Amino acid sequence: MKSLKTNKKASILSFFPKVSLSFKIFLCLVFLFMTLSLISYDIKDTGNTYPPQTPISNWMGKAGAIFSYTLYLWLGQVVWMIPLGLVLLIMQKGKFSFSHGYWVCWCFFLLLWVCTLASFWEKLSLDSDRMPSKGGLLGLFLSEKWQLYFGKFSALFLLCTGIILAIYAFTIALEQKYWKKLQHQEKKE
């Protein structure tokens, strides 16, 4: 009976590296599609006009045109953080674990924070009526809400809040790494 349980655990554990590798390959394909569609983005390729006025010049076709238009519309030029995050996730050594989900949540917060901050700075620039905007519609919405609740000092408040939360996140990460080392040393002893 005991050998059957260890066999099931061994088969499950041998399955995870395969999932991890296939997940990394999937992330590489998503990264390539996203990067190529964002690089070849053209404002004329909105993708959602009927009938299409001009031929689509996006390298990834109509799907890439719609994808890049939607990302630029909602996130602005901050959208380049997503392929960068995918590269960092792909370059992780070892298997994916629950701690990766923790960092994905913090990266999502960072994306929202940068979108909002970019929208604040966009209001100060002269060419703020162009598309794609620096912070996108999401950043504009969040910056308007922040200004509504916190007034004119909202950009400073947002910046300080982001820095404090980033320090908190890295402190937790370092603490977890330190405790893992301690546990590993205790097991050796």
Give the tens place of pLDDT for each residue, 126-161.
555 555 578 888 888 888 887 788 776 776 777 778
Q: What is the pLDDT of residue 11?
A: 45
Residue showing tokens 């689509």: 56
Q: What pLDDT sits at residue 37? A: 94
Q: Which of 80, 95, 110 is the last residue before a domain boundary?
A: 95
Which are the contacts of 33, defined by CB distance < 8 A and separation ≥ 6? Answer: 60, 64, 67
Residue 4 above 70 pLDDT?
Answer: no
Q: Tell me: do 101 and 18 sit in the same domain.
A: no
Residue 58 burial by CB count (10 A; 0-12/13-18/19+): exposed, middle or buried? buried
Q: What is the pTM of this model?
A: 0.68
Claim to verify: residue 72 and residue 152 sit in the same structural domain: no
What does each C-alpha distance from 37 to 27, 48, 97, 135, 162 come to in angstroms?
15, 16, 30, 19, 30
- At residue 25, what are phi and psi to the nearest 5 degrees? -65, -40
**88 & 153 share domain:** no
Domain boundary (95, 130, 153) is at 95
Within this chain, do residues 82 and 101 fall inside the same structural domain, yes or no? no
Do 10 and 82 have their domain in common? yes
Listed range (17-21, 28-32, 89-93, 123-127) with the worst mean pLDDT: 123-127
Residue 10 in this model has a pLDDT that exceeds 60: no
Parent domain of 29: 1-95
14 or 141, higher pLDDT: 141
Q: Which of 69, 95, 121 is the last residue of a domain?
A: 95
Total domains in the fold of the chain: 2
